[in-house]
Structure 1
Amino acid sequence: MAFYTEGPTTQGRGPVHLVFDVNETLLDTAALDPLFMRWFGTEARRGEWFLILQETWMTANLVGHFAPFAELAKSALRQLGAKHGVSIAPADEQALVDGVLGMPAHADAVEALAGLRQQGHTLTALTNSASAAAQHQLAQAGLAAYFDAILSVDQVERYKPAPEPYRAAAAHWSVAPEAMVMVAAHGWDLIGAQAVGMRTAFVARPGKAMDPALEQVPTWRSDDLSQLMAQVVAAG
């Protein structure tokens, strides 16, 4: 769905500062399924690995010990292996890192970002991936050129949903968080963004959901990124 047609229902009140999560929101982690099938005999372990990874970086935040995202991803894989009695070799850890670096864009990502770029909105990527990794990920997926800035939590050494990464994104553009919209496929990411004042847009990727009882988060929701951005742009 293209959403950059001229007209009052799509133009909103002017350019919008849009902040995008990367992993799962723009890039499809389902591309990792063959690895988890090889190691564990089921693709379902990929989602379990990501939950362990989230727990690992949130623990890092709580104890105040920042470690590179790739190291946490490897640690989560080793934990998953120990849980299920599967031996994880260093080559397996590297295969996972390589897989994360090579994930493709979701099918709706290019059209959505291209439409936003054509309209003149400011597009920022804000990711828990390391800075160099994020640049590589978005470039190989054909998305890097659409962004005005690609920001990593590396600069503040705190993982989302801690407040520091969102505030750093606002500071990068010298705007208030209230002037920005955070776009993500994760409820925890949007709750973190809303806590510092950002408006929020939830793209319901397969297997992702938000608590329907939450009244303020997200501001907008859709299972299609172009349709979601149409809602955001119309609101201005």
Structure 2
Amino acid sequence: MILVFDINETLLDTAVLSPLFEKLFGKAAVRGEWFLTLEETWMTATLAGRYLPFGLLAKSALRQTGLRHGIHIDDDHQRELTDMLAALPAHPDAAPALAELRARGFQLTALTNGTLETVQHQLAHAGLDTSFDVILSVDSVETYKPSQPAYQYVADHWQVSTRELVMIAAHGWDLIGAASAGCRTGFIARPGKVIDPQLFEPDWQADSLIALSRQLMEEISPNSGEAICKG
């Protein structure tokens, strides 16, 4: 079983961006509005078949948020955002959970909607770069999660079927996409993240990565042929 992990919000804490949004908009809560705008932007680009790198979309989402609030967003503000994104800290439970899974023999994959260069920098800065067997970016296939080709890319890398992947993420949309591609799924309920059980039920879910990892270790053999995906 190969475990696949989403990065931003799932392993890395975007709450550290709040001071930037407090400075620009007078309310730290606008960070959530920006992220929803970013999600809408990359999903629209994917549906329209127009791929643009994550950093460009992150800046666009900030500009859109500024227009919505009547705030001018200049180049320095956009640069500050991308610099901060590249230096996000890990959630406290990330390193110990990943270490425990590796010690038990699981193969760990990072899968990000960001570019490969950015995610390599992010994980190195957060001290997680050596936690993974491989680090992958959708930039290589030019389609964002939750499109099915993004998850198939991981399966193709490992030369397995998507049934042998477990996607782990703090985003319901990511897990729905992974399940549609044939993966199994694990949900981490990071602060503010919920999943509607009437719409979708992941195979595993917990409030922390450590708790989720222990569920997986209890129920899955690392060398079994079962499929598990984490995004």
TM-score by length of 1: 0.92
Runs (5+) with no aligned partner, structure 1: 1-15
Distance in 2 (CA, whole Å) between partners of 1:170 and 1:63 is: 24
SS in 1 for 2:111: strand
2:215 maps to which residue?
A: 231
Q: Which amino acid aligns with 2:192?
A: G
* Identical residues among aligned pairs (%): 55
Kindly indicate whether residue 171 of structure 2 is the aligned counterpart of residue 186 of structure 1. Answer: yes
Corresponding residue pairs, total:
220
1:230: how far off? 0.9
Q: Cα RMSD (Å) of the superposition?
A: 0.7
SS in 1 for 2:167: strand
2:225 maps to which residue?
A: none
Kindly indicate whether residue 133 of structure 2 is the aligned counterpart of residue 133 of structure 1. Answer: no
Q: Superposition pairs for residues 112-151 of structure 1, below 5 Å?
A: 112-151=97-136
2:40 maps to which residue?
A: 55
1:62: how far off? 1.0
Distance in 2 (CA, whole Å) between partners of 1:65 and 1:50 is: 19
Runs (5+) with no aligned partner, structure 2: 221-231
Match of 1:77 among 41, 54, 62: 62
Cα deviation digits, residues 165-200 of structure 1 (max 9, x gap): 100001100111111100000000000000011000
1:220 maps to which residue?
A: 204
Q: Superposition pairs for residues 81-92 of structure 1, below 5 Å?
A: 81-92=66-77
Cα deviation digits, residues 7-41 of structure 1 (max 9, x gap): xxxxxxxxx31000000000000010010000001
Q: Which amino acid aligns with 1:220?
A: W
Match of 1:98 among 83, 86, 93: 83
Cα deviation digits, residues 123-144 of structure 1 (max 9, x gap): 0000001010010001100001
Structure 1's consecutive aligned runs of 4 or more residues displaced over 6 angstroms after TM superposition are none
1:214: how far off? 3.4
Q: Which amino acid aligns with 1:142?
A: G
Distance in 1 (CA, whole Å) between partners of 2:111 and 2:40 is: 19
Q: Which amino acid aligns with 1:55?
A: E
Distance in 1 (CA, whole Å) between partners of 2:204 and 2:199 is: 12
